[in-house]
Structure 1
Amino acid sequence: MKNRTLGRTGASISEIGFGAWQIGGSWGDVSEEDGKKALNAALDSGVTFIDTADVYGDGRSEKIIAAVLRERGGDKPFVATKAGRRLNPHVAEGYTAENIEGFIDRSLTNLGVETLDLVQLHCPPTDVFYRPEMFGALDALTVKGKIRNYGVSVSTVEEGLKAIEYPGVATIQIIYNIFRQRPHDLFFAQAQKKNVGVIVRVPLASGLLSGKITTQTAFAADDHRLFNRNGEFFDVGETFAGVPFEVALEAVEQLRPLVPKGVAMAPFALRWILESQAVSVVIPGARNEAQAQSNASASSLPAIPAETMAAIAEIYDRLIKVHVHQKW
C-alpha cells in the first residue's frame, strides 16, 4: 500500500482508504459482523484512512469503527467524519457554532475519542460557503481541542473552489471517477496550489464501475441505488454519479476491453483516479472482506498507459460528459 500526504494536515495516509457509508446503511442489508470483517480486511491490507459520517446509520458506522479499532489496539488509523446532515430541515441557517459542536460531541462519543482527526461539513447548502462565521466556529473547535483538522465535503466544483479560499480548510471531499471527470479541469490544480488534501468519494459510481451491475440487478428497498435514482432524497449525483443508468451500463461495456487481463474493473477504476497526483486518498466502500481486499489491491497496480487513458477520455466525452459535466 502506497501513502500520500493529506494536504495541510500533514498526515501520511494510505492512498486507498475505507469509505464507511456502506457499513452504516442505505446500501441494503450489511450486518454488523460483515461490516466489521470488511473494515478489518481493509486495515489488514494496509489501509490507514477511514471516512465516515454521523448520519451513516444514525451513528452505526461510527460505532462499528470504534469497536473494531478498540478490538485491534495498536496504532490507530486516521479517521475522518462529517457533520451537518443531521439538521432537519437541512438548511444553511442550521449551520451554527452550537449545532455543529453538538454534532461533533456526538461523534466524539460514538468514536470513543477525545479529539477527532478530521471533521468535514457534510455537503452543506451553498449559502454556508459564504458564511465565514461557520469556518470561524470550526477554528474555535480546533483551539478547544475537539478537532485537529476540518474540511468540507462538497457537491460541486464551484463549492470546492469557494471552500479552499478559507485558510483553515485542510481538505475537500469531492466526487471524481471515470464518469465524473470535471474536478480535474480546474479544481485539482487549485487544491494543489493551496496544499489542500483531496478525498475522492463515489469512486466506483455506486458500483457501476465494478462492472458487475446489469439491467437485471435488483436493489433492496433500503438501498439508495433504488430509492434515490432520480434524486428523491438527496443529490442525484451521489447515486450512480448522476449518470442515467442505461447510458452508464453502455459505457461500462465499452470500458471493459480496456481493463488489463487478470485485473478486475473496480481496482482498475480506482487506479485511474490515482493517476492524478492531486488526489490524496480515494475512499471506496465495501460490504464484505473480498471487496475491501479488491479495493486495496488498486494501490499495487501499475500506471495506466497513455493510450488507455486517452481511450477512457474518449468514452467519457462521447457518452457521459453531456449528462454530468456542467452539473457538478
Structure 2
Amino acid sequence: MPSRPLGRSGVCVTALGFGAAAVAGLYEDVGAEEAAAAVDAAWAVGVRYFDTAPHYGLGRSERRLGEALKNRPRDGFTLSTKVGRILVPHDGKGDDLAHAFAVPATHRRRWDFSADGVRRSLEDSLTRLGLDHVDLALLHDPDDHEEQAFREAYPALEDLRSQGVVRAIGAGMNQTRMLTRFLTDTDVDAVLCAGRYTLLEQGALESLLPAAAAAGKSVIVGGVFNSGLLADPSPGATYDYAAAPAGVLRRAARMRDVTEARGVPLRAAALRFPFGHPAVASVLVGARSSAEVRDAAEHFGRPVPDAVWEGLRTRGLLPGEVPVPDGSQP
C-alpha cells in the first residue's frame, strides 16, 4: 500500500485509511469480535493509517482500536484522534442513537476547545487507546467555536506537538472555509475534509486544496461516498446523512452508468478521484466488518482508465477544470 507524508511533519499515512467510526456501532451495533476482525483485515491488505475520535461511540472506537492494535509495532502504523469533545460520565439510561451510535449512553459529550480541554481530551484518548502518543491530533468540528479554537485550542495542540505528545496537528471538519483558515493562518500539518471533495461535489477545490498545495500541507479526504450515495446510488440512498434529493440521486446514477459502461464500479472511481489533486495524502473509508474492508481495498486497487473521467466530463457530470488521477495507482 503506497504512503504519503503529511506536510513536512515526517508523519506518513497510507493512501487508503481506516475510519473507525463504524466499528464503534455507527447506526447499528457491531460486536467486539467483528470490530477486531475489521481492523485485522485492514492490516492484512496493507492499511497502516487508522483514524478515530472520542465522539465515535462515546469512546468505544478508541478502546476497540487500541485493543486491536496493541500487539502491532508502534512505529508500524499511524493513528489520528480528535479533540474538542470531553466525555463526561452520565447515569442516564438508553442508547446514544440520537448521536448516531448504537451504544449505551454511559457518557455525555461536552464541547470544550479551551487549552485545558484539549489537554484533558488527549489524555483521556491516550488512556482509552493504551498509547503514550498519537501521530496526528485534529480539532474536531469546531464550527460553532471558531474563535476559541484558533485562540486557545490550536496553541495547545502546537504546544503538545513541541512536547512530542503528538507528532502532527490539524483539524477535521465537514466544511472548507474554516479548514482553509487553519491552513493559511496556522502551522497545522494537515486537515481532514469530509464530504467536500468527491465525484459529486468539489467545493474544496475553490480554496482549501490550493491553500494546502501552496503551503506544502496535506489534505486527508473523508466521506468519499457522500455518506453512501456514491457507493450505491439506488432509491433510499443517503447523501450527507439524509435521504438523497431526487436530482442528486439521478446524477449519481448517471455517473454509475458511465463508469460501469467502461468496466469500472462507481465505488472504485469515487475512491480514486481525490488523488487527482497533489495535496491529497489519503482517503478514509469506514468499515464495520472484514468483508467491508476487503471490498474497499479491492475497489481502491482497481485501475481507473482515463476514459472514465473523459466520459464523466463529456456528459457534464464532472467539470472540465477538475483535476483527475492518471491511470496509475495513487
Query: Is the shorter-chain TM-score for this pair beyond 0.5, marking a shared fold?
Result: yes
Note if 1:115 corresponds to 2:133.
yes
What letter matches 1:171 in structure 2? A
1:93-104 equivalence runs, <5 A: 94-104=112-122
Structure 1 residue 78, shift from structure 2 partner? 0.3
Distance of 1:23 and 1:158 partners within structure 2: 30
Note if 1:308 corresponds to 2:311.
yes
SS in 1 for 2:124: helix
* Equivalent pair of 2:256/2:265 in contact (CA under 8 Å): no
**Length, aligned pairs only:** 293
Aligned to 1:320: none
Structure 1 residue 304, shift from structure 2 partner? 4.1
Structure 1: gaps of 5 or more residues: 218-224, 230-236, 318-328
Distance of 1:266 and 1:31 partners within structure 2: 26
Identity %: 28
Distance of 1:159 and 1:74 partners within structure 2: 32
CA RMSD of aligned residues (A): 2.5
* Equivalent pair of 1:9/1:149 in contact (CA under 8 Å): yes
Note if 1:142 corresponds to 2:161.
yes
Residues 113, 269 of structure 1: alpha-carbon distance in 2 compared, 3 angstrom cutoff? same
* Equivalent pair of 1:150/1:171 in contact (CA under 8 Å): yes
Could you list the per-position Cα deviations for residues 134-193 of structure 1 after superposition, in whole angstroms to 9, with x for gaps in the alignment? 321112222333222210012322111111124431111112211221112332111011
Distance of 2:139 and 2:114 partners within structure 1: 12
Distance of 1:71 and 1:214 partners within structure 2: 43
Distance of 1:141 and 1:72 partners within structure 2: 24
Note if 1:21 corresponds to 2:21.
yes
Aligned to 2:179: 160
1:1-328 equivalence runs, <5 A: 1-73=1-73, 75-86=75-86, 94-129=112-147, 131-175=150-194, 176-211=197-232, 213-215=234-236, 237=240, 239=241, 244-260=244-260, 263-305=264-306, 306-311=309-314, 314-315=316-317
Higher relative contact order (CA 8 A, sep 6+): 1
Structure 2: gaps of 5 or more residues: 88-107, 320-330
Using the size of structure 1 for normalisation, the TM-score is 0.80
Distance of 1:140 and 1:123 partners within structure 2: 20
What letter matches 2:290 in structure 1? E
* Equivalent pair of 1:82/1:120 in contact (CA under 8 Å): yes
